[in-house]
Amino acid sequence: QVQLMETGGGLVPPGSSLRLSCETSGFNVDYYTIGWFRQAPGEEREGVSGISGSDGSTLYADSVKGRFFISREKNTIYLQMNSLKPEDTAVYYCGATVLSGSIKVKMYDYWGQGTQVTVSS
Protein backbone atom coordinates (compact mmCIF):
# COMPACT_ATOMS: atom_id res chain seq x y z
CA GLN A 1 0.00 0.00 0.00
CA VAL A 2 0.99 3.64 -0.34
CA GLN A 3 3.35 4.63 2.44
CA LEU A 4 5.26 7.80 3.19
CA MET A 5 7.67 8.26 6.07
CA GLU A 6 9.26 11.53 7.12
CA THR A 7 12.55 11.82 8.96
CA GLY A 8 15.06 14.53 9.73
CA GLY A 9 13.27 16.88 12.09
CA GLY A 10 14.84 18.30 15.21
CA LEU A 11 15.51 21.30 17.43
CA VAL A 12 17.79 23.92 15.86
CA PRO A 13 18.63 27.57 16.51
CA PRO A 14 17.47 30.33 14.14
CA GLY A 15 19.57 30.62 11.01
CA SER A 16 20.32 26.90 10.91
CA SER A 17 19.63 24.34 8.20
CA LEU A 18 17.86 20.99 8.24
CA ARG A 19 17.14 18.44 5.57
CA LEU A 20 13.92 16.46 5.79
CA SER A 21 13.46 13.17 3.97
CA CYS A 22 10.24 11.55 2.75
CA GLU A 23 10.73 7.91 1.93
CA THR A 24 7.95 6.54 -0.27
CA SER A 25 6.87 2.99 -1.02
CA GLY A 26 3.96 1.07 -2.49
CA PHE A 27 3.47 3.28 -5.54
CA ASN A 28 5.30 4.67 -8.55
CA VAL A 29 6.39 8.19 -7.69
CA ASP A 30 6.70 9.00 -11.41
CA TYR A 31 2.90 9.28 -11.54
CA TYR A 32 2.43 11.42 -8.43
CA THR A 33 3.18 14.83 -7.08
CA ILE A 34 4.83 14.73 -3.68
CA GLY A 35 4.31 17.70 -1.42
CA TRP A 36 5.72 18.96 1.84
CA PHE A 37 3.31 20.53 4.29
CA ARG A 38 3.51 21.88 7.82
CA GLN A 39 1.16 22.42 10.70
CA ALA A 40 1.94 24.65 13.64
CA PRO A 41 0.00 24.33 16.94
CA GLY A 42 -3.45 25.83 16.58
CA GLU A 43 -2.98 26.41 12.87
CA GLU A 44 -4.25 24.70 9.74
CA ARG A 45 -1.96 22.52 7.70
CA GLU A 46 -0.36 24.49 4.87
CA GLY A 47 1.52 23.63 1.71
CA VAL A 48 5.23 24.37 1.68
CA SER A 49 6.60 22.82 -1.49
CA GLY A 50 5.86 20.18 -4.09
CA ILE A 51 7.62 18.27 -6.84
CA SER A 52 6.16 16.50 -9.83
CA GLY A 53 7.29 12.91 -10.20
CA SER A 54 6.84 13.05 -13.96
CA ASP A 55 8.85 16.12 -14.92
CA GLY A 56 10.50 17.35 -11.71
CA SER A 57 8.75 20.71 -11.78
CA THR A 58 8.58 22.36 -8.37
CA LEU A 59 6.30 24.63 -6.36
CA TYR A 60 7.01 26.73 -3.31
CA ALA A 61 4.94 28.74 -0.89
CA ASP A 62 5.93 32.41 -0.86
CA SER A 63 6.99 32.14 2.78
CA VAL A 64 9.80 29.70 1.95
CA LYS A 65 10.93 30.75 -1.53
CA GLY A 66 14.69 31.15 -1.66
CA ARG A 67 15.19 29.33 1.66
CA PHE A 68 13.68 25.87 1.10
CA PHE A 69 14.53 23.56 -1.77
CA ILE A 70 12.78 20.34 -2.76
CA SER A 71 14.45 17.51 -4.63
CA ARG A 72 14.01 13.86 -5.43
CA GLU A 73 16.33 10.91 -5.54
CA LYS A 74 14.59 7.75 -6.67
CA ASN A 75 11.77 7.13 -4.17
CA THR A 76 12.90 9.68 -1.59
CA ILE A 77 11.91 13.34 -1.63
CA TYR A 78 14.02 15.83 0.28
CA LEU A 79 13.27 19.27 1.67
CA GLN A 80 16.40 21.29 2.30
CA MET A 81 15.53 24.06 4.72
CA ASN A 82 18.00 26.93 5.12
CA SER A 83 17.97 30.12 7.16
CA LEU A 84 15.36 28.67 9.47
CA LYS A 85 13.18 31.06 11.45
CA PRO A 86 11.14 30.51 14.62
CA GLU A 87 7.99 30.78 12.50
CA ASP A 88 9.09 27.67 10.60
CA THR A 89 8.40 25.66 13.75
CA ALA A 90 5.78 23.01 12.95
CA VAL A 91 5.17 19.35 12.32
CA TYR A 92 6.22 18.71 8.73
CA TYR A 93 4.35 16.15 6.63
CA CYS A 94 4.80 14.78 3.17
CA GLY A 95 1.83 13.87 1.04
CA ALA A 96 1.11 12.33 -2.33
CA THR A 97 -1.44 13.12 -5.02
CA VAL A 98 -2.04 12.03 -8.59
CA LEU A 99 -2.86 15.64 -9.41
CA SER A 100 -0.16 17.98 -10.60
CA GLY A 101 0.65 21.59 -9.94
CA SER A 102 -0.82 21.90 -6.48
CA ILE A 103 0.25 22.11 -2.87
CA LYS A 104 -3.28 22.52 -1.59
CA VAL A 105 -3.93 20.18 1.31
CA LYS A 106 -7.33 19.06 0.03
CA MET A 107 -5.79 17.78 -3.18
CA TYR A 108 -3.64 15.20 -1.38
CA ASP A 109 -4.77 11.66 -0.67
CA TYR A 110 -1.90 10.05 1.19
CA TRP A 111 0.07 11.29 4.18
CA GLY A 112 3.00 10.40 6.36
CA GLN A 113 3.03 10.65 10.16
CA GLY A 114 5.05 13.85 10.29
CA THR A 115 8.31 15.01 11.82
CA GLN A 116 8.70 17.85 14.31
CA VAL A 117 10.84 20.85 13.43
CA THR A 118 11.49 23.35 16.20
CA VAL A 119 13.47 26.52 15.57
CA SER A 120 14.42 28.16 18.82
CA SER A 121 17.41 29.67 20.56
Query: Distance between CA atoms of 18 and 80, rounded to whole angstroms?
Result: 6
pLDDT given at position 29: 95
| Nearest C-alpha neighbor of 77 from the set 59, 104, 99 | 59
90 has pLDDT over 90: yes
User: What angle is formed at CA 104 by the lines to CA 83 and CA 59, rounded to 5 degrees?
Assistant: 50
Containing 69, the helix (H) or strand (E) segment is strand 68-73
In this predicted model, what pLDDT tens digit does every residue of 54-84 receive, in sequence order?
999 999 999 999 999 999 999 999 999 999 9
pLDDT given at position 100: 85
User: What angle is formed at CA 60 by the lines to CA 44 and CA 71, rounded to 5 degrees?
Assistant: 115
Query: Distance between CA atoms of 119 and 87, rounded to whole angstroms?
Result: 8
* 92-98 mean pLDDT: 97
101 has pLDDT over 90: no
